[in-house]
A and B are shown apart, each in its own frame.
Chain A
Amino acid sequence: MDPQPPKSTGQNRRDFLRQGFRGAALLGMGGLVGALSWRSSAETTRWQIDPQKCVRCGQCATACVLEHSAVRCAHAQAMCGYCELCTGYFEPDPNDLNTGAENQLCPTAAIRRRFVEDPYFEYTIDEALCIGCARCVEGCNRFGNGSLYLQVRHEICVNCNECAIARVCPGDAFLRVPVSRPYISKQIAH
């Protein structure tokens, strides 16, 4: 075997330091994972609106990073009063109680109004049209049962690390929820 030239001591010292730092970094990372996994969640999180805290400011429609916001109106039908004069559907002081565009509160006509039986009407949200502006939610909550409310739709939401709507929400209504229970639906208070 050929005699190997002796390595310079400097190189050995640097390798030794490098090894030391590498070991320290691995230890530190192990410690970090250990400390954080103690209170980490196995589940990832999603952004959602707490309907009880929502103040219907209308920024969900405009602040989302998506051009067509991931926030849409949801309807807890079991809470709905099926009112003929739905304050979530009609402008204040409407000309007439029909589906004319001039009577509707919704800027995109995303609420479908269907006669059920006298004097009840069913209201359903067309989510493809809804822009999450919360005008109907405001009307329904201020004067009605509050069965209309906003929710982040997770098949649309890109789940930004920092939600752009949460950042500007004046009601502080956005929160991270576990992915297995990603919706906060409204219930009737018993």
Chain B
Amino acid sequence: MLVRGWLICLCLGLGPLAVAEPRFPPPDFETEYQIPEEQYAPARALWVEYLDVAVLLGALGLASWFVARRRSRKAVLGLSLFSLLYFGFFKAGCVCAIGSVQNVALALFNPTYAIPLTVLVFFVAPLAVALFFGRTFCAAVCPHGALQDLILVKPVNVPRWLAQGLGVIPYLYLGLGVWFAATGGAFVICRYDPFVGIFRFSGSLTMMLVGALFVVTGLFVGRPYCRFLCPYGVLLKLAAKVSRWRVRITPDICTQCQLCEHSCPFGAIREPVVTRRDPRELARERRRFAALLALVPVLMLAGGWLGARFSGVAAQFHPVVELAELYLRHQTNPPSTPLPAVDALAYARAERDADALLANAVATRRQFNYGGWIFGAFAGLVVGAKLARYSIQPRRTDFEPDRGACYACARCFEYCPQERVRLGTWPAGEPIPGIAIPPSQGALSRKGTV
């Protein structure tokens, strides 16, 4: 039997790998033996997938209500705990709004990729909500935000200049993520996500190390990922800047008591701007602003040129280009030692249809080149706009959170005496600090009607 088996192997086994005819015909059993059916766990029903969307929309609605109407930090905290458990640990981090940016980019530039509707909703819904209520998604729905919010024990103040400087990184990361996703090379944002390994209790060593680094940093620096890396946060920030309603620290009137000044661990609260600049300086300020605006196209052009220069390096991360390079290297300069087993298998695939592979690689390289121009121009625009922005004087009469930077976590509310009057927790007879407010206005008179 043994010999016969090997003989058949020798005769048939070295034939083509694709099995047209089975080498050993399935036997006709003489006994009662029945060939068992293949067993697969049943496919998940579609409604289970849509359940995630329903939970997302429900959580977004609740979060907005908790922040804008209930003004309750406890409710926000409870919801964020739920989101951490559901979207984080139960759903194991995928699908998430942060990663969906790449699916959208891939779908826009690659007509063969059909984006699932659930992913599209995960991308659009938080942005649409941010256009009306601010970043309530960050506050209580995003598992990344929830995790960082919950582990923040001893917030230290990040200097404003450092926070602003590091604030450029998310824009660049967003551009990079879109660049790589649109060319089909990689989902960089998912690959280097720091928290998904924690949600799964497993991951590569680098992933776990980076995750641990962010967690340790997050104990002392409020939401380090959200502030200095999150690419989706960039879009949310832009949307929240023009939101219909904003997060307000006081329920009605700001008495400028400054009690809330240091309540924000994320440095989002801005003080009132009372002093007007000297009119004699205005002309100079305007000239500087105009010069900075004129600098923007220069920066974009320079960035684009630089991006295109680096596109060759970037393209090597694309699997098609990588394989084509391996093939060409091997063709022009055959190595003396055999390739590692995995590379040899890939090389064999390259050899089967080398022309198509090379043509594909050239096309991909060209796409990377265009993408490099766009990415670089985007980076130049971001830097230019950030510079020009400082020439615009903000107008604020109250202490209020910056629309874009506020995560709507609702921490600052209870620092406000007016809020405590509204809630009835302000000591009776205690005067309200800050400027006196007319008795016809403010929470004191409206108490019971809010």
Contact = CB atoms under 8 A, between A and B. Distances in A.
Interface string B21-38: 111111101110101111
B342 A142 contact: no
B202 A67 contact: yes
A183 B119 CA distance: 21
A19 B35 CA distance: 68
A14 B21 CA distance: 74
Chain A contact-residue range equals: 35 or more
B38 A36 contact: no
Interface stretch (B110-118, B217-225, B258-266, B283-291): B110-118
Given A81-B24, A144-B24, A26 B128 contact: yes
A160 B115 contact: no
Given A37-B120, A41-B116, A42-B117, A117 B33 contact: yes
B389 interface: no
Interface string A42-83: 111100000010010111000001110000001111111111
A4 to B, nearest CB: 12
B94 A143 contact: no
Given A75-B38, A158-B200, A25 B186 contact: no
Give the one of A39, A44, A120 with max B CB within 10 A.
Answer: A44
Given A11-B395, A85-B6, A57 B38 contact: no
A107 to B, nearest CB: 16
Contacts of B239: 25
Given A57-B342, A170-B345, A179-B44, A81 B25 contact: yes
A188 B94 contact: no
Contacts of A145: 19, 22-24, 26
A160 B91 CA distance: 10
Contacts of B40: 74, 151, 183, 185
B275 to A, nearest CB: 16
A153 B41 contact: yes
Interface string B90-111: 0011111001101110011001
A55 B131 contact: no
Given A81-B25, A81-B27, A116-B29, A180 B46 contact: yes
Contacts of B23: 81, 143-145
Interface residues of B, number: 83
A18 B111 contact: no
A68 B422 CA distance: 55
B203 interface: yes
Contact of B242 (A21, A82, A189): A21
A80 B207 CA distance: 41
Contacts of A153: 41
A49 to B, nearest CB: 13
Interface string B117-145: 11110001001100100000000000000
A80 B26 contact: yes
Contacts of B114: 39-41
11 contacts: A2-B440, A14-B395, A33-B120, A58-B341, A81-B24, A85-B1, A159-B94, A161-B95, A162-B191, A170-B345, A181-B43
Interface of A: 2, 8, 10-11, 14, 18-19, 21-22, 25-26, 29, 32-33, 35-37, 39-45, 52, 55, 57-59, 65-67, 74-85, 87, 97, 116-117, 119-120, 122, 124, 141-146, 151, 153-155, 158-162, 164, 167-168, 170-172, 179-183, 185, 188-189
Interface of B: 1-2, 5-6, 9, 12-13, 17-27, 29-31, 33, 35-38, 40-41, 43-44, 46, 49, 92-96, 99-100, 102-104, 107-108, 111, 114-120, 124, 127-128, 131, 186-187, 190-191, 196-197, 200, 202-204, 207, 238-239, 241-244, 319, 341-343, 345-346, 348-349, 395, 440
